[in-house]
Amino acid sequence: MSSPTRVKALIIGIDGGSFDLIDPLISAGQLPVLAGLLRRGISAKTTCTWPAHTAPGWSSFVTACHPGGHGIYQFFDTQDRDYGAVIRQSGDLGRSNAWDWLARSGYSLGLINIPMSHPPRDLPGYQITWPLEQTLRYCRPASLLTELTKADAHFQPDLATMFRGDLGYLEEAEAGVVARTRSVTTLMRQRPADLVMAVFTEVDRVCHHYWHFCDDAHPRHEAAPPGSGWQAAITRIYQAVDAAIGELLALVDDDTTVVVVSDHGLGVGRHELAINTVLEAAGLLATRPGPDGRSEPAGQASWFRGASDDAAGTREVDFSRTAVYSPVPGSFGLNVNLAGRQRDGIVTDRDGLLAEATSVVSAITLPDGPGSGPAFRAVVPREVAYPGPHVGSAPDLLLIPNDEGIVVGAGIGGDAWRPSWQTGLHRYAGLWLQASPRCKPARLSEPVSIVDVIPTLLADLGVGWPAGVHGEPVLDAFDAGSVPAGAEQYLEQDQPAPDHEPASRAEDEYTARMLREMGYI
Amino acid sequence: MNATKSRLRKVMVDALDLGVDPETIPDKDLVSTLGLDSINTIEYLIWVEGEFNIEIADEDLSIDLIDDLDKLASYVEDRQPASAQAS
Whether residue A136 and residue B46 make contact (CB cut-off 8 A), yes or no, is: yes
A510 close to B (CB below 8 A): yes
Stretches where chain A sits below pLDDT 70 are 1-5, 159-164, 292-298, 307-313, 481, 485-487, 493-521
Task: Name chain A contacts of B43, Cβ cutoff 8 Å.
Answer: 156, 160
CA distance B15 to chain A (A): 9
pLDDT score recorded for residue A519: 56
Note whether A152 contacts B: Cβ–Cβ < 8 A: no
Q: Measure in Å the smallest separation between the Cα of A53 and chain B Cα atoms.
A: 24
Q: 3-class DSSP state for residue A13?
A: strand
DSSP structure class, residue A485: T
From B73's Cα to the closest Cα of chain A, the distance in A is 18
In one letter, which amino acid is A18? S
Inter-helix orientation angle A453-461/A54-63, to 10°: 30
- Contact criterion met (CB < 8 Å) for A142 and B47: no
Q: What is the DSSP track for A315-359? A: EEE-GGG-SEE--STTS-EEEE-BBTTBTT--BS-HHHHHHHHHH
Query: How close, in Å, is residue A146 to chain B by CA atoms?
Result: 5
Segment A169-207, tens digit of pLDDT: 999 999 999 999 999 999 999 999 999 999 999 999 999
Contact A159 B39 (CB under 8 A): yes
Q: Tell how strand A265-268 and strand A442-443 pair up.
A: unpaired
Query: Are B58 and A149 an interchain contact pair (Cβ–Cβ within 8 Å)?
Result: no
Type and span of the H or E element at A42: strand A42-47
Given an 8 Å threshold on Cβ–Cβ distance, is A149 in contact with B46?
A: yes
B47 in contact with chain A, both atoms CB, cutoff 8 A: yes
* Helix, strand or coil, per DSSP, at residue A213: helix
Contact B63/A at CB under 8 A: no
β-pairing, A139-140 with A125-128?
A: antiparallel
Q: How far is A321 from chain B (nearest CA, A)?
A: 37
Q: Are A518 and A173 in contact (CB under 8 A)?
A: no
User: Which three-class secondary structure state does DSSP give residue A380?
Assistant: strand
Q: Indicate the residue of A137, A150, A156 with minimum beta-carbon distance to B43.
A: A156
How many CB pairs lie under 8 A apart between chains A and B?
A: 36
CA distance A143 to chain B (A): 8
Query: Which amino acid is located at A136 in the chain?
Result: L
Kind plus residue range of the DSSP H or E element containing A19: helix A19-27
* Closest residue in A to B50 (Cα–Cα): A146
Question: Residue A191 class from Cβ within 10 Å (0-12 exposed, 13-18 middle, 19+ buried)?
Answer: middle
Buried-exposed string B3-21: b where 16+ CB fall within 10 A, e elsewhere: ebbebbbebbbebbebeee
Amino acid A48: pLDDT: 97
- Give A504's DSSP letter: P
Nearest to A449 by CA among A69, A77, A109: A69
CA–CA dist A379, A372 (Å, integer): 18
**Residue numbers in B near A150 (CB within 8 A):** 50
- Say if B68 is an interface residue toward chain A (CB within 8 Å): no
Q: Does A223 touch chain B (CB under 8 A)?
A: no
- For residue B65, which phi and psi values (nearest 5 degrees)? -65, -30
d(CA A309, CA A152): 45
B58/A136 Cβ within 8 A: yes
Whether ipTM tops 0.95, in short, is: no
DSSP assigned state of A496: P
CB contact under 8 A, B42 and A160: yes
Cross-chain residue pair B39–A149, CB shorter than 8 Å = no
Which residues have CB under 8 Å from A283's CB, separation 6+? Answer: none
Rounded CA separation A79/A395 (Å): 6
Nearest CA in chain A to B38: A134
pLDDT attached to residue A521: 59
Cα distance between residue A512 and residue A302, in whole Å: 8
Distance from CA of B66 to the nearest CA of A (A): 15
Q: Do A146 and B50 touch (CB under 8 A)?
A: yes
Q: Where are the beta strands (DSSP E) in A74-193?
A: 109-112, 125-128, 139-140
Q: Which residues of A touch B61 (CB under 8 A)?
A: 134-136
Which chain B residue lies closest to A513 (C-alpha atoms)?
B38
Q: What is the rounded distance in angstroms from the CA atom of residue A326 to the CA atom of residue A277?
A: 10
Mutate: best of B12, B36, B42, B54, partner A, most A CBs <10 A: B42
The answer to whether B45 contacts chain A (CB < 8 Å) is yes
Which helix (H) or strand (E) segment holds residue A258: the answer is strand A257-261
Q: What is the pTM of this model?
A: 0.90
B54: nearest CA partner in chain A: A143
Cα–Cα dist B6/B17, whole Å: 16
Rounded CA-CA distance A23/A5 in Å is 33
Q: Mind telling me how many Å the CA of B56 is from chain A's nearest CA?
A: 8
Residues A209 and A184 sit within 8 Å (Cβ to Cβ): no
Contact A432, A453 (CB under 8 A): yes
DSSP string, A419-446: E-SSSEEEESEEEEEEE-TTBPPEE-SS
Q: How many whole angstroms separate alpha carbon A505 and alpha carbon B33?
A: 35
Q: Mark which residues 68-107 of A lie under 8 Å from B by CB.
A: none
3-state secondary structure A94-118: CCCCHHHHHHHCCCCEEEECCCCCC
Shortest distance between the Cα of A358 and any Cα of chain B, in A, equals 42
DSSP-assigned letters across all residues of B55-81: ---GGG--HHHHH-HHHHHHHHHHHS-
Yes or no: say if A109 and A194 are a contact pair by the CB < 8 Å rule: yes
How far is residue A301 from each of residues A92, A286, A328, A334, A509, measured CA to CA in Å? 20, 16, 9, 15, 9
Yes or no: say if A463 and A107 are a contact pair by the CB < 8 Å rule. yes
Q: For each of chain B's 87 residues, which pLDDT tens digit applies? A: 789 999 999 999 888 878 899 999 999 998 888 887 766 777 788 889 888 988 888 888 877 888 899 999 999 999 887 666 544
The answer to whether A141 faces chain B, any CB pair under 8 Å, is no
d(CA A10, CA A4): 15
